[in-house]
């Protein structure tokens, strides 16, 4: 069965690094910083439930973000943009 709700869009950024210029063009509903190590997965999942159809930003240490993506089979560079819904997480292309 497919998810009838719109996916949330999560933008993953390394903390303490300037945001990319393309971020200004996105309608960001909320921004979060990972409160402690090991919480990024839960932060993304919980935020995706709250922000269906919207975009939110999560900033965390690079190693934590890349490890989280690797565990989900979404290896690649940061920054990253993901669609998150009940069917899973999908990496989408970065804006130009």
Cis ω before 72 (30° cut-off from 0): no
Q: Is residue 19 assigned to a domain?
A: yes
**Is 44 part of any domain?**
yes
State the pTM of this model. 0.92
Q: Classify burial at 84, counting beta carbons within 10 Å of its beta carbon; exposed 0-12, middle 13-18, buried 19 or more.
A: buried
Question: Where is pLDDT greater, at 5 or 73?
Answer: 73
Domain boundaries, position 20: 8-92
The DSSP code for 28 is E
Convert the pLDDT of each residue in 9-26 to its tens digit. 999 999 989 999 999 999
Q: Is residue 23 part of a domain?
A: yes
Q: What is the pLDDT of residues 49-68, one digit of tens each?
A: 999 999 999 999 999 999 99
Q: Indicate whether 16 belongs to any domain.
A: yes
Tally of domains in the chain: 1
Using one digit for the tens of pLDDT, what is the confidence trace for 69-83? 999 999 889 999 999
Rounded-to-integer distance, Cα 79 and Cα 30, Å: 17
CB 44 within 8 A of CB 59: no
Q: Which residues on adjacent β-strands are paired with residue 55?
A: 9, 28
- Residue 47 placed within a domain: yes
Query: 6-10, 33-37, 60-64: which range is least confident on average?
Result: 33-37
Question: Per the domain annotation, does 1 fall within a domain?
Answer: no
pLDDT class of 4 with cuts at 50, 70, 90:
low
17 in a structural domain: yes
C-alpha span between 84 and 87 (Å, rounded): 8
Residue 75 lies in a domain: yes
């Amino acid at each position: 069965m497919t998810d009838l709700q719109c996916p949330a869009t999560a933008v993953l950024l390394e903390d303490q690094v300037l945001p990319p210029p393309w971020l200004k063009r996105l309608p960001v509903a909320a921004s979060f910083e990972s409160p402690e190590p090991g919480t990024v997965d839960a932060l993304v999942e919980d935020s995706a439930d709250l922000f269906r159809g919207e975009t939110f930003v999560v900033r965390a240490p690079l190693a934590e973000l890349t490890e989280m993506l690797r565990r989900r089979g979404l290896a690649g560079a940061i920054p990253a943009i993901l669609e998150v819904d009940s069917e899973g997480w999908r990496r989408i292309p970065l804006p130009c």
